Structures are given as structure tokens and as C-alpha cells.
Amino acid sequence: MEKEKQILIRKNAFWLSEVGYLFFKYQVGYEVYDFSKNATLVEAGVDLFVLNKQNIPTYIICYGNDYPYDKLFIPISENDKPSRLLQSIADFVLFYDVNQNSLSLLDVPLLQEKLDKIDGNYKYVRKDNSVGIQISKDDELINKFINTYKLNQNIYEKCLKIYNYRIKNKKITESKYLPLAR
């Protein structure tokens, strides 16, 4: 019987970076580097530095996606300023479906370009300190460049442990979407 590889993760102030790290390192097999919250790249909207098997670097920004899981919350503003996502220099945004075994990746420059052209067809919602749009993963705005992946069982269980630890120790709170008055 083959010995199972142990999944190791270094704690990060951004628990979603831990989830992204697990996915890229242990499921995809890429080299991954994360940053402290004071890193210059974090300020530029980058949470992970990923090297694929050809050593081509990719920058990733990480967000959580909670219920409803068939939609994404795309932040437009955070703390009354443009969101990190809108200003990010990252190549891709990773949306982890919190407490689920899936995540989605979207091309950031393409998403930023599409968001610049949105009209009044999207409902604005508030989530914690953010205002954004809640958009179906099947919506024509993103359906051509969204990729959704199922986490393998070991990664999924580790993600649940990370999330539950942060909730239990009050490092994060469970958030809810609140519709904004128009």
C-alpha cells in the first residue's frame, strides 16, 4: 500500500491563501508561495505566487464565496474604497466555495474589463464591509472564462478544518449577503 503524502500548511493571516495554497500545491502539483499581510504584493492585490511545471509565474488573489454557491459575490468596493480585486495586478482570482468541495478561477484582467462595462442589470449587495454584485456562475458576463474545480477529499477536509478553526477562534465570522436599497 502506498504511503499517503501528508498535507502541510503554514498558517497565514489570510485563511483563503491557505486554501489556495492547498489547491495549487497538493491538487495541481505547482510550487506555491504566499505572503505576509505586510508584503508589497499583497498591497497590489496578490495573495499567492504560483509556479507551474514550466516555472511560469502566476499571481493569484483569493476570495471566499459563501451561499448561494451557484453565484459569486464580486466586490466593487471594500471599506468605501475600490476593492482589491478591481485594483489587483493578479492574473487570476480564486473563489473558494466556503464549506464546499469546489472553487472557481477567473482571469482577473478579463474580469476587470467586463466589470468596467456592467450596467444596471446586476443587483448590488452588501457583504460585511464590501459592496458588489452577486452574479450567477452561468451568467454571460463570466461563463466563458470561469473554471470550476472539485477539490479532492483530503484537500476538502483540510479546508474545512482551516475554516472551522478560524470560526471557533473568532478569527473570521460567517458572513451573509444583504441586498442594498436601490
Using alpha carbons, select from 34, 56, 55 the residue that is nearest to residue 46: 34
Per the domain annotation, does 2 fall within a domain?
Answer: no
Question: What pTM does this model have?
Answer: 0.85
Per the domain annotation, does 127 fall within a domain?
Answer: no
Per the domain annotation, does 155 fall within a domain?
Answer: yes
126-166 tens-digit pLDDT: 888 889 999 999 999 899 999 999 999 998 998 888 888 77
Structural domain tally of the chain?
1
Using alpha carbons, select from 124, 44, 60 the residue that is nearest to residue 92: 60
Per the domain annotation, does 133 fall within a domain?
Answer: no
46-81 tens-digit pLDDT: 999 999 999 999 999 999 888 888 999 999 998 989
89-139 tens-digit pLDDT: 999 999 999 888 999 999 999 999 998 877 677 888 888 888 999 999 999
pLDDT value at position 138?
94
Domain span holding position 109: 15-67+84-116+142-177
Per the domain annotation, does 94 fall within a domain?
Answer: yes
CA torsion angle 123 138 127 165 (round to 10): 170
